[in-house]
Amino acid sequence: MAERPYIVGNWKMHGTRAMLSEARAMDRAAQRHMKVEVAIAPPYTLIHPIHREAGQIGVGAQNCHFADGGAHTGDISAAMVADAGAKFVILGHSERRADHGESDAVVKAKVEAALEAGLRVILCCGESEKTRDAGRAVQHVKKQIKASLPDLEEAGEKLTIAYEPIWAIGTGKTATVDDIAEMHTEIRALMVDLFGEEQGSVIRILYGGSVKPENASEILTAPEVGGALVGGASLTADSFMSIALAADSPEL
């Protein structure tokens, strides 16, 4: 892993203020793993309290709207999450695509709005089990990324891709290291195609889908894996920071 590994926790719809103690414990532990960039995306309601206390971990959002503001009851703009302290936003997660019908075009508009608001973006992509079984996983993921990305003059640090096979999310199943390596190598080639060698080769490509302390080392050493997007195992400091510790190993 060439760049500083990036370990991101996606808390999904979990967490009330009672979870602030876990965030504090993560922040303290992250200070012992400075070679790893650790971040969490809590629910909107916890962005500001965690941002206020965090010294080391980054704080981000799990979504934002594409509009600047207006009559969108219950929605939140990119500028609002940035104002609450978010430094990045996860966009295009398969749960949002499924639960809220987010198309590639909607995700693309959100990426544009987020970058405009100064946020870094973690763009999620991934295939269903049916698509993988049909042998179309790589083709599907590349098409999804291309359709979800606006024309960007520079991407570099601002963009991270998270490859999350849908069938591996929250299921305890993970892709094989060979499958992960194949997909990440294809995504790397696409990044270089889209952004040129200099920028395309530094964009981090995370793996997500049932990453746990027990499998983190194996996944993180796969080619072109720049870190992990972690759901269930990011909810306690113990398990999340064991994954960060795996990313802090000298072989990576």
Name the residues annotated as catalytic. 93, 164
Exposure class string for 202-233: b at 16+ Cβ within 10 A, else e:
bbbbbbbbbbbbebbeebbbbebbbbbbbbbb
C-beta of 124: minimal distance to ligand PGA in Å? 7
Residue 10 within binding range of ligand PGA, rule CB under 6 A: yes
Compute the distance between CA of residue 107 and CA of residue 122 in angstroms, rounded to an integer.
11
Q: Looking only at residues 83 through 102 of this chain, which bind ligand PGA when binding is defined by CB under 6 A?
A: none
Q: Closest Cα partner for 136 from 144, 99, 63?
A: 144
Q: Closest Cα partner for 207 from 241, 172, 237, 169?
A: 169
92 or 231: CB nearest ligand PGA: 231
Q: Looking only at residues 120 through 179 of this chain, which bind ligand PGA when binding is defined by CB under 6 A?
A: 164, 169-170
96 or 188: CB nearest ligand PGA: 96
Give the 3-state secondary structure of residue 121: strand
Part in contact with ligand PGA (CB under 6 A); list of ranges 43-51, 80-88, 195-203, 227-235? 227-235
Give the residue carrying structure tokens 């194996």. Answer: 218
C-beta of 198: minimal distance to ligand PGA in Å? 29
195 or 233: CB nearest ligand PGA: 233
Compute the distance between CA of residue 12 and CA of residue 26 in angstroms, rounded to an integer.
17
Q: Which of 78, 115, 123, 230 binds ligand PGA (CB under 6 A)?
A: 230
Name the residue with the smallest CB distance to ligand PGA. Answer: 231
Q: β-strands 37-41, 6-10: how paired?
A: parallel
65 or 93: CB nearest ligand PGA: 93
Q: Looking only at residues 203 through 222 of this chain, which bind ligand PGA when binding is defined by CB under 6 A?
A: 208-211
C-beta of 42: minimal distance to ligand PGA in Å? 13
How far is C-alpha 131 from the chain's CA centre?
22
Question: Using alpha carbons only, what angle is made at residue 2 by residues 11 and 192, rounded to the nearest 5 degrees?
Answer: 90
Number of C-beta neighbours around residue 75 at 10 A: 14
Q: Which of 91, 102, 232, 246 binds ligand PGA (CB under 6 A)?
A: 232
10 or 199: CB nearest ligand PGA: 10
Token pair recorded at residue 238: 């113990």
C-beta of 232: minimal distance to ligand PGA in Å? 4
Residue 60 within binding range of ligand PGA, rule CB under 6 A: no
The contact set with ligand PGA (CB under 6 A) reads 10, 164, 169-170, 208-211, 229-233
